C-alpha cells in the first residue's frame, strides 16, 4: 500500500489525483495552506473512496518548517512512499515584472518551495531505495514569453531541477516524473488566452495517473502540447521576442 503526500491538495487536479490514488488503495496525506478547505477535501476524498485521508497544512515559503513537516507526514502515514507536487500560482504577472517582491513571491510559490520540499522527500525516499516523486509543472516553462516570463521562468527552472533529481535518483529505485501541463479549466486560468486548448482537471488527472502507472519520466498533458512546444522552441529569438502571444 502506497503512502502518498499530495502538496497543494485543494487544487482541482490534486483532488482528482487523490481519488485515483485512493482507488488503488493508497493511504493519503493531503496538504495545503488553507486548513479548513484541505480538511473538507480530505473528508470528501475519504467518503468517495471509502478510505481515511489525513489532512494538514504547509507553507511553501516557510522553508524552515519543511523538514519538520515531512517528518510529521511520514510519522502520521506510517512511512512515505510518494510525493505529488501540485501547488503553484500564476501570481500577478504585471506586478511581478516591475516589483521585485511580487517577482520573488511568484518564484517562491512555484519553484523554491517545491525545491525545498522535494529535496527533503528525495532524501527520505533515497534512503529507503523506493518510492516516487511527481512534479506538476507547466508548458509555460519551455520559453520565456514576454507575457508571463516570471511565472514561466519558475516552471522552467523547476523542470530542470526535477530532471537533475531524476538522474540522481536513477539508481535508487525512485521514480521521478515531470508533468508539463497545458491550460487546465480552473479558477486560476479563467479568462486567459488559450481557452480552446483547455482540458478538464479530471481528464488531466487521468492522463497524469496513467503516465505514473507506466513509469513515464516526462509527460505533456495533453499530449499535443509536446508538438506545440516543439514548434515554439524552433522559432528564432529574433522573431520570438516580437511575438505577442
Cα 150 from Cα 102, distance rounded (Å): 10
83-119 exposure pattern, b = at least 16 Cβ within 10 A, e = fewer: bbbbbbebbebeebeeeeebbebbbbbbbbbbbbbbe
Q: Is 151 among the catalytic positions?
A: yes
Task: Please tell me the distance from the alpha carbon of residue 235 to that of residue 215, in angstroms, as a whole number.
Answer: 31
Residue of 151, 209, 212, 220 with catalytic role: 151
- Dist. CA 181–CA 133, nearest whole Å: 16
If you search the block for the grid coordinates 487546465, which residue do you land on? 184
Nearest Cα residue to 192 out of 86, 87, 94, 85? 94
Residue 71's nearest CA partner among 105, 19, 7, 120 is 120
**Whose grid coordinates read 493519503?**
28
Name the one residue in this structure whose C-alpha cell is 525516499.
Answer: 125
Residues labelled as active-site residues: 151
Amino acid at each position: 500500500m502506497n503512502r502518498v503526500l499530495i502538496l497543494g491538495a485543494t487544487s482541482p487536479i490534486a483532488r482528482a489525483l487523490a481519488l485515483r490514488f485512493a482507488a488503488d488503495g493508497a493511504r493519503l496525506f493531503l496538504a495545503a495552506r488553507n486548513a479548513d478547505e484541505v480538511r473538507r477535501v480530505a473528508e470528501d476524498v475519504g467518503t468517495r473512496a471509502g478510505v481515511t485521508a489525513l489532512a494538514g497544512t504547509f507553507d511553501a515559503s516557510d522553508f524552515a518548517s519543511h523538514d519538520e513537516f515531512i517528518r510529521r507526514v511520514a510519522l502520521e502515514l506510517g512511512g512515505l512512499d510518494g510525493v505529488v507536487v501540485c501547488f503553484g500560482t500564476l501570481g500577478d504577472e504585471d506586478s511581478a515584472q516591475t516589483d521585485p517582491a511580487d517577482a520573488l513571491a511568484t518564484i517562491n510559490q512555484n519553484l523554491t518551495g517545491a525545491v525545498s520540499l522535494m529535496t527533503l522527500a528525495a532524501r527520505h525516499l533515497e534512503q529507503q531505495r523506493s518510492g516516487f516523486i511527481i512534479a506538476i509543472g507547466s508548458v509555460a516553462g519551455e520559453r520565456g514569453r514576454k507575457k508571463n516570463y516570471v511565472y514561466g521562468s519558475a516552471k522552467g527552472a523547476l523542470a530542470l531541477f526535477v530532471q537533475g533529481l531524476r538522474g540522481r535518483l536513477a539508481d535508487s529505485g525512485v521514480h521521478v516524473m515531470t508533468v508539463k501541463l497545458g491550460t487546465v479549466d480552473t479558477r486560476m486560468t479563467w479568462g486567459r488566452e488559450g481557452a480552446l486548448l483547455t482540458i478538464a482537471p479530471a481528464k488531466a488527472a487521468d492522463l497524469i495517473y496513467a503516465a505514473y502507472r507506466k513509469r513515464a519520466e516526462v509527460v505533456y498533458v495533453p499530449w499535443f502540447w509536446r508538438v506545440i512546444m516543439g514548434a515554439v522552441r524552433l522559432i528564432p529569438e529574433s522573431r520570438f521576442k516580437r511575438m505577442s502571444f
